[in-house]
Amino acid sequence: GAVVSQHPSWVICKSGTSVKIECRSLDFQATTMFWYRQFPKQSLMLMATSNEGSKATYEQGVEKDKFLINHASLTLSTLTVTSAHPEDSSFYICSAIRTTNEQFFGPGTRLTVL
Amino acid sequence: GENVEQHPSTLSVQEGDSAVIKCTYSDSASNYFPWYKQELGKRPQLIIDIRSNVGEKKDQRIAVTLNKTAKHFSLHITETQPEDSAVYFCAATVYSSASKIIFGSGTRLSIRP
């Protein structure tokens, strides 16, 4: 099966700092990746669609200048949370699409902003 | 855009009984409906899916039904076991190379021993 990894799996940072999360498709190329945010006991909310070699498409209400997405290669997309605040604390999950429509999810990154 | 509603938000059933989770979607263009199981702190895992050209699909104790006209789809788990306890999400999307998936709000299923 297709494998998607995320790094780091968890991170704790101080308010005002920036945090970068990596999403990698390990055994397939993914032209499209998605970034989700999940607050405790809530559903996965799509933040943005990341396309290799082009700008990400952000969902309504998601600040593009705060959540920077870079999809520089067919196997790597990064999400940078800039000037993180406690309200940004959440579980961030990426997913990647292979040739079929099935999405393969990463294991998630738990971000805690103090 | 697509909107997916899911009910109930919590469900508790006796071990061995059946569990049913229901979802509705709004966009008639959606034609692919995956169901995911998520355990605490882990990634969602696809457990079953259905495309709009079929009305029902079954995989051992899990089945999904789809009513395109009513824009309803449901997950049925029979002979529930303790390991079925988790949060279940329905979702809807258009089956193509890069369509985003819209998730329902989730159902927390608890199996009572």
Q: Using CA atoms, how far apart are residues B74 and B38, in angstroms rounded to an integer?
A: 17
- Whether residue A107 and residue B98 make contact (CB cut-off 8 A), yes or no, is no
Beta strands in A4-56, from DSSP E residues, in sequence order: 4-7, 10-13, 19-25, 32-38, 45-51
| Identity at A71, one-letter amino acid code | H
Residue A103 binned pLDDT confidence (cut-offs 50, 70, 90): confident
Which residues in chain A have Cβ-Cβ distances shorter than 8 Å to B44?
A: 44, 93, 105
- Dist. CA B52–CA B48, nearest whole Å: 14
The closest CB to that of A43, out of B43, B89, B98, belongs to B89
Two tokens, residue B10: 């919590």
Measured between CB atoms, does B99 come within 8 Å of chain A? yes
pLDDT tens digits for range A35-47: 999 999 999 999 9
Residue B37: the pLDDT is 97
Strand partners for B32: B51, B93
Mapped onto helix, strand or coil, the DSSP state of residue A88 is: helix
Is A44 in contact with B99 (Cβ distance < 8 A)? no
> Largest Cα–Cα distance in chain B?
42
CB neighbours of residue B20 within 10 Å: 16
Q: How confident is the model over A46-92, as pLDDT tens digits?
A: 999 998 888 899 999 999 999 999 998 999 999 999 999 999 999 99
Chain A within 8 Å of B40 (Cβ-Cβ)?
Answer: no
Structure tokens at B50: 């259905």
